[in-house]
Amino acid sequence: MKIFPYPHAYPNQIRDESTLLKELNDFKHANDQNGFFGTLAFTALTHAYDNWDLGHLIASDSHQIPLMAILPFYENPVITARKIVSFQAIYQRPLAINWISGLALNDYEKLGLKLTKVQRYAMLKEHITVVNALLDPVSKKTLTFEGEFFYVKNHKLQKNLSFPLYQYISGTSAECLELIREFKFLNQLVGGMEKGHTYSEFAKGAAFGVVVRPSELDAKKIFDKKFKSDSLSLSYAKLAQKNTDSDWKLKIHERLKQEDSKGNFFYSSISHYSEVGFVVGDYIQVSEYFKNLISLGMSTFVVCLLDCADIYHLRKCIDLI
């Protein structure tokens, strides 16, 4: 089982960006101490730091494996492939990649991108194709590729992968599922939802938040203090709902209108950036949530936590599985 705990992050409009690096640094050491597999290196135009730089921060002075969020809009696939090989050679460990097709809608405008959702997935497909062709240890030939978005001529990397590369793709749309069917090495990451939710047969992992304490009451108090009294965060969440065409994020935003009336310990986050649902409860309740996902064939969990101290409580919960 691979678990990637990471710190809950507000957008830079309502948080001190300088604290992000310290939080991530604290998280990587706490993740090491509690035996977790890795740490998410998230990406967004709403914060100041490049995700590859965050990946280096995570890997340095730790045993953590970063989960790198990669979008095709940011760099040529040849550069992505080189970075992957270089990273593994420098830190002598595997790397995890989370392929992402989309940004917030207003970020496309900032980057001058006028692509439909179908076109974005077509661009992502080309990016994944080129990266994996260059990383193919069997191929001895140089790569020539001519697509709609990327062009490569007679290129070959000078070094092969040294360690495994774990590849995930976030999404639930028809376009995402089509890519998973074509690229058998991709593992689908889905948003955590309430018990009884039906996932696709390709879902191998889930992303959600966790607030867990020895008692359910204490966990709910912590969640309520963080979110329910935060009107500024709620206003950002409402803006975020209008600023995405992501199937899973829109489903999560629907949960903003609901409370936990079914006894499934699932709450909605009102975070602008994290945009994940939170599982809130005691050790047994939250461990049962994990067990349910594991029974569906999932083995990777990207877990948003409110504070570094929560890593200890997450460990206590996981030990019950």
Domain that holds residue 89: 2-210+293-309
- Return the pLDDT at 211: 92
257 domain-assigned: no
164 domain-assigned: yes
Structure confidence at residue 215 as a pLDDT band (50, 70, 90): very high
Mean pLDDT is lowest, of 5-19, 101-115, 149-163, for 5-19
User: What is the C-alpha separation between 79 and 317, in angstroms, rounded?
Assistant: 40
104 domain-assigned: yes
CATH number of residue 99's parent domain: 3.20.20.30
- Return the pLDDT at 258: 52
- Return the pLDDT at 19: 77
User: What is the C-alpha separation between 16 and 136, in angstroms, rounded?
Assistant: 42
| Contact in structure between 169 and 99 (CB atoms under 8 Å) | yes
DSSP track, 208-259: EEEEEESSHHHHHHHHIIIIIT-HHHHHHHHHHHHT---HHHHHHHHGGG--
DSSP track, 132-168: HHHH-SS--SPEEEE-SS-EEEEE--SS--SS-EEEE
Phi/psi for 239 (5° steps) reads: -65, -40
Mean of the pLDDT values across residues 210-218? 93
Q: Residue 274: pLDDT above 50?
A: no
270 domain-assigned: no
- Return the pLDDT at 44: 63
Q: Which residues contact 280 (CB under 8 A, 6 or more apart)?
A: 210, 211, 212, 216, 219, 220, 223, 260, 265, 266, 267, 286
- Return the pLDDT at 248: 58
Mean of the pLDDT values across residues 21-47? 87
17 domain-assigned: yes
pTM of the model: 0.85
Q: Residue 14: pLDDT above 60?
A: no
Structure confidence at residue 12 as a pLDDT band (50, 70, 90): very low
How many residues belong to the chain?
A: 321
- Return the pLDDT at 46: 58
Phi/psi for 132 (5° steps) reads: -75, -30
Mean of the pLDDT values across residues 19-44? 90
Q: Residue 36: pLDDT above 80?
A: yes
Mean pLDDT is lowest, of 7-21, 149-163, 212-226, 293-307, for 7-21
Mean pLDDT is lowest, of 40-44, 87-91, 152-156, for 40-44
The CA-atom distances, in angstroms, between 58 and each of 41, 68, 95, 224, 272 are: 8, 10, 11, 30, 23
195 domain-assigned: yes
DSSP track, 259-307: ---SSS-EEE---TTT--EEEEEEHHHHHHHHHHHHHTT--EEEEEESS
Structure confidence at residue 233 as a pLDDT band (50, 70, 90): low
Q: Residue 261: pLDDT above 70?
A: no
Higher-confidence residue: 114 or 265?
114
Mean pLDDT is lowest, of 42-46, 92-96, 159-163, for 42-46
- Return the pLDDT at 16: 63
Counted domains in the chain:
1
246 domain-assigned: no
Q: Residue 75: pLDDT above 60?
A: yes
Mean pLDDT is lowest, of 6-15, 103-112, 267-276, for 267-276
Across the strands, what pairs with 209? Answer: 278, 304
283 domain-assigned: no
Strands (E), 63-131: 65-70, 95-99
- Return the pLDDT at 167: 96
Mean of the pLDDT values across residues 164-178? 90
Structure tokens at 260: 């936990």
| Contact in structure between 11 and 46 (CB atoms under 8 Å) | yes
Mean of the pLDDT values across residues 239-249? 60
| Contact in structure between 145 and 129 (CB atoms under 8 Å) | yes
Mean pLDDT is lowest, of 6-15, 136-145, 173-182, for 6-15
